[in-house]
Amino acid sequence: MEYQDKTVVVTGAGSGLGAAIADAFAAAGARLALLDIDAERAHAKAADLAERGTEAIAIGVDVADKASVAAAAQAVASRFGGCDVLCANVGVQQFGAVDKLSDEDWTWVLSVNVRGVIDTVSAFLPLLRHREGLRHIVLTASSSYFTPGVRMAAYVTSKYAVVGYGEVLRMELAEEDINVALLFPAGMATRHLESSVRARPAALGPSRLDRDDIRAMMASAKMSPEKDVATPEHAVRNLLADLRARQPYIITHGGYRDQIEARNARMLEAFAHMEARP
């Protein structure tokens, strides 16, 4: 019960990875604030946790709306007085070749996946600072940061931005004993694609989902359903232990280590090539 009397805020908590993260912290004794654009699912998850003895509240939040996030932070402050762990678990997906992605596609993905993370951290950081001792911020990145695939330029771009933001955030908060961890999940059996389609604002037009794009992406990224796709529960099995160890990067699952090593080798070769010339 290492999180007894601690407050954990999770965005995207109504289902999938966010719900699994909430379960992990609940099992460790935490109080939960579950945020999701799908308020009905967030409330259902809070009720499920309450039945198991966890104090939990649910708040409908659109992370692309800064005022919505600020209101959620105020609600958490009113109920719990602060926040010990913030899991900014944000991610919508729009597949499509680079020359097929519209301005609306880019606006939507970046406003949710990048600004949504930034605004969430900005809103809840004062609540973290209100508490003492070791605190954590967990930012959900993606294995696609290491293994980008075709037809997902908007999503990959957004996750590269999240990693860059997280790296600087870790440096700036280190002296306050606020740990920042980057979570890199690979493929998961969740409602991610369905929820992405449902979450897109009508003003930006419908979200398109072409199974050919998914097949092309998986082939180019060398993704294997057997090695690189797991349940959310499996993905978070080591999350609390990794936070305890203050791991800056948390790899959840996936068989892409060779691809990371190959890319790093190419980077080092580029350095050697530069250094060999006057």
Name the 3-class secondary structure at 259: helix
Give kind and range of the element (H or E) at residue 187: strand 187-188
**Residue 104 C-alpha from the chain's centroid:** 22
| Six token digits for residue 109 | 């993905």
Q: Which of 3, 145, 155, 249 is catalytic?
A: 155
Q: Among this protein's residues, is 249 annotated catalytic?
A: no
Q: For 175-192, b where at least 16 C-beta lie within 10 A, e where not — what string?
A: eeebbbbbbbbbbbebbb
What separation, in Å, do the N-terminal and C-terminal C-alpha atoms of the chain show? 59
d(CA 89, CA 80): 20
Q: For 253-276, b where at least 16 C-beta lie within 10 A, e where not — what string?
A: bbebeeeeeeeeeeeeeeeeeeee
Answer yes or no: are the C-beta atoms of 136 and 179 closer than 8 Å. yes
Give kind and range of the element (H or E) at residue 184: strand 178-184
Answer yes or no: are the C-beta atoms of 90 and 137 closer than 8 Å. no
Dihedral sign, CA of 21, 16, 167, 67?
Answer: negative
Residue numbers annotated as active site: 155
